[in-house]
Amino acid sequence: MARRLKGQSSVETRSAILDLIRSSGRVSRIELSERSGLTEATISKIVRSLLLDGLVVEAGYGDSTGGKRPVLLALNTESRYAVGISLDAEHIVYVIADVTGRPVHTMTAAGTGRSAPPDVIKRVAKESQRLLRKQGIADADLVGIGIAGAGRLDRAGGVLRSSKKASEWEDFAVADALHDASGLPVIFDNDANCAALGEFWSGRVPATRDFATAYMASGIGAGIVINGDVYRGASSNVGEISHMTLDINGPECWCGSRGCLEVLATPAAVVQRAQQDAALSERLGIAGDTIDVRHAFALIGRAAMSGDTAAVALIEQSAEYLAKALLSVVNMLDIDTLFLGGPGFAEAGQIYLRTARDELAAHAFMRTVHPVSVEMSAVGPEAAALGAASVVLHSHLTPHHAATRSRRKPPSVTIEAVPLASA
């Protein structure tokens, strides 16, 4: 149902109307009035200012309900852009997204590797600028850069804290550094949050739907969207299902606990187990310490999909642990929609999907009240980068979401939730 917008400030109202146009695809002024509870005169005034700013365009006519056919409105896809970046040891993915969250250009570059964080950020700023120039996007049309990263985040300070094997990144203010290097507004967020918001912003999920996205890259996280915004908890570290305990007597985890999903189901855990099987690791060429985990995991996934019994067993075991973790997420939040996204699902995603569906159909607490749908993310392996761009668009273009969370920390690092471009 539409949220009633009376009583909000004019900036919030305008932002909410823009969000309604975005989530509707194409919509008439009368429909906006019906869905928002605002008068047609107020809607006309807001729409006029959105048209003047070039954010919205007239896009054909709707069906007549007796009188003239109504003019339909849609977001102007060429009006604003955002850059989304996912930082990872093995790859850095860049996506330029238009205002609807659709990718217009994607590029993959060398990962952060062992380079010092300031050097990585300088390179990222240069590569972003080069990409924008190549696409002919003017600075004035760019709302900012979103960065998706793994690990423990201090989103208010833009800091990535003590994630595994990332000691150099500890206490390094990623967002501030990139802002200084690029001169652009920068928002830093958890990769799973980004993936979830990307799903929402691209219009695949209705604005009224609560859902979660399980994101698997090196680790596994869950981004949770409630009522059209990412649920952030106290410090934006919600959804760390990687450290959900699934076996209290299980192997030690780097986080200090035992039997976490991280040590049972992540690509590194699967690769480690595969290497204990001499025949399998020789068959796939993944023996040895120097093997690239993502590459080895992809080989195991591919072998599983082609029916290699040992590989199938390893992937199914990982999928079963993940499905159990998702069962707890669903039981805790009573959500009815889950997506699986990220590079970890690129090869054997269908096994994870089938296992999660079976688990939830059999054991979700609310299964007799409503089904729980599990789908692969439509976005693909670059879900976090594209989602990071969506986080920027969401924060700049529809700041009313942030305005409704007055008890929380400000949602951005170097910028405030700004009004739409000045008229």
Tokens of 264: 């049972």
* Separation of alpha carbons 192 and 200, rounded Å: 13
Nearer to Zn ion, 243 or 400 (CB): 243
* Separation of alpha carbons 181 and 337, rounded Å: 39
Q: CB neighbours of 91 closer than 8 A, spacing ≥ 6?
A: 108, 109, 110, 111
* Separation of alpha carbons 352 and 356, rounded Å: 6
Output the smallest distance, CB 170 to Zn ion, in A: 17
Residues that bind Zn ion (CB under 5 A): 243, 253, 255, 257, 260, 262
DSSP conformational letter for 139:
G
Output the smallest distance, CB 262 to Zn ion, in A: 5
Output the smallest distance, CB 241 to Zn ion, in A: 10
Token match 């590989």: residue?
311
Nearer to Zn ion, 97 or 253 (CB): 253
Nearer to Zn ion, 253 or 269 (CB): 253
Output the smallest distance, CB 352 to Zn ion, in A: 20
Contact (CB, 8 A) for 241 and 221: yes
Report the relative pairing of strands 211-216 and 152-154 from DSSP bridges: unpaired
Output the smallest distance, CB 325 to Zn ion, in A: 12
The one-letter amino acid at 341: G
Nearer to Zn ion, 257 or 317 (CB): 257
The one-letter amino acid at 182: S
Listed residue (233, 247, 238, 236) closest to 213, CA to CA: 238
Nearer to Zn ion, 101 or 259 (CB): 259
Nearer to Zn ion, 252 or 334 (CB): 252
Nearer to Zn ion, 2 or 255 (CB): 255
Q: CB neighbours of 37 closer than 8 A, spacing ≥ 6?
A: 2, 4, 5, 6
Nearer to Zn ion, 115 or 257 (CB): 257
* Separation of alpha carbons 13 and 8, rounded Å: 6
Q: Edge-to-edge strands of the sheet including 103-110?
A: 103-110, 91-98, 81-87, 142-149, 186-190
Positions of E strands within 240-364: 337-341
Output the smallest distance, CB 363 to Zn ion, in A: 23
Q: What is the DSSP string of 74-126?
A: EE-TTS-EEEEEEE-SSEEEEEEEETTS-EEEEEEEE--TTS-HHHHHHHHHH
Output the smallest distance, CB 256 to Zn ion, in A: 7
Output the smallest distance, CB 161 to Zn ion, in A: 14
Nearer to Zn ion, 267 or 349 (CB): 267
Output the smallest distance, CB 239 to Zn ion, in A: 14
Listed residue (266, 340, 351, 375) closest to 302, CA to CA: 351
Instruction: Annotate 289-324 with b (16+ C-beta within 10 A) or e (fewer).
Output: eebebbebbbbbbebbbeebebbbebbbbbbbbbbb
Output the smallest distance, CB 244 to Zn ion, in A: 8
Nearer to Zn ion, 31 or 240 (CB): 240
